[in-house]
Amino acid sequence: MSYAQRKDISGNRTVSIILTVLVMSSLMYAIITGLAYDVVKHAAENLKVIDVEQQPPPPQQPPPPPKDMPKVPPPPVTPPPLVQVNTPPPPTIQTVTAPPTPPIIPPVVPAPPPPPPPPKKTVPPQSARGDLRSLFSTDDYPASALAAEAQGTAQAELTIGPDGRVVGCDITTSTGNSALDSATCNIIRRRAKYVPARDSNGNPTTATIQTPPITWQIPAE
């Protein structure tokens, strides 16, 4: 057999082998694919859904303690030099006991001396115009007393000043009519004039006297 014929036969055999391998691969693929489909279908039918409760994650473990480190001794500390300070001793406190304080007695203030008594009057006041009743007239009769037909007798205590004037008049005996009593003191204050009283030294002084009874009577028509 020639070399060319052997080459053709070898080439045909190679092609046949390749075709055979392709056909076998196709058949195997079809078989495997069909079987896998049936298996998957059958497994899907038998598959049951199960709710699986998710478990909480496990607690974190604390980190492991650090390994014992080698103890390093602290650097040496040199103490400062001692400085001696000469502290003076504390002063001695002497307790002095004060003598007891005597009680404070307030000074006694003497009472003021009583005022000297007034000098004695040796001369009483005298009317400078005679009888005091002569100072009154029927024209002095108050109109209201006339209308009320009031009449009566009045008597007063007079205070005579050092100048001889009447500085006070108090009715001691009333006529029973206020208009007549007021008229009695008003007329005496305006018209009466006295020689003032004198003390033991001869100086004029204040004095009181009692008037004679002064009668108010309605004048006859």
pLDDT digits (tens, 9 = 90+) for 21-52: 887 777 777 666 665 555 445 544 554 444 54
* Global pTM value: 0.46
Which pLDDT score is estimated for 25?
79
Query: CB within 8 A of 82, min separation 6: which ones?
Result: none
Q: Give the other-Cβ count within 10 Å of 175's Cβ.
A: 21
Measured CA to CA, the distance from residue 116 to residue 201 in angstroms comes to 15
The domain ranges of the chain are 1-41, 122-216
Question: Three-state SS string across 114-180, please?
Answer: CCCCCCCEEECCEECCCCHHHHCCHHHCCHHHHHCCCCEEEEEEEEECCCCCEEEEEEEECCCCHHH
Measured CA to CA, the distance from residue 162 to residue 125 in angstroms comes to 9
Q: Which CATH architecture has domain 122-216?
A: 2-Layer Sandwich (3.30)
Which pLDDT score is estimated for 27?
74
Beta bridge partners of 155: 173
Residue 177 clears pLDDT 60, i.e. is over it: yes
- What does pLDDT average to over the chain? 77
Least confident of 31-45, 54-68, 161-175, 206-220: 31-45
